[in-house]
Amino acid sequence: MENRIDYQEQAELLKALAHPARLQIVHSLLTIGCRNVRCMESHLGMSQSSISQHLQRLRAAGVVTAERSGNEVYYRASSRHVAALIAALMGEEETAYVL
């Protein structure tokens, strides 16, 4: 069976990552392991509202997933595909990432 590439889906993924703040957020999820907005706020130097807006866009594009635990929401990269893409962009080894 032929593996069909969904170019529209891949373009949407790239559009979601095509903002410096969103790229930084996903990279930090993979490298630092910050999983909630409070942790991201202290490591990234962005406001809570800005981080939340960018996370909403990343979730809509399927770049990150979210899981609620009590009052906190924890985020993570959605797949190894996303991690591989970020690793390629950053010139890093995917094996060093927190998944």
For residue 2, the model assigns a pLDDT of: 61
The span from the CA of 31 to the CA of 34, in Å, is 8
The span from the CA of 35 to the CA of 33, in Å, is 6
For residue 17, the model assigns a pLDDT of: 96
Q: Domain coordinates of the chain in residue numbers?
A: 12-96
Helix (H) or strand (E) holding 43: helix 37-44
5-59 pLDDT, tens per residue? 899 999 999 999 999 999 999 999 999 988 999 999 999 999 999 999 999 999 9
Fold held by 12-96: Arc Repressor Mutant, subunit A (1.10.10)
Contact between 65 and 75 under an 8 Å Cβ cutoff? The reply is: yes
For residue 99, the model assigns a pLDDT of: 80
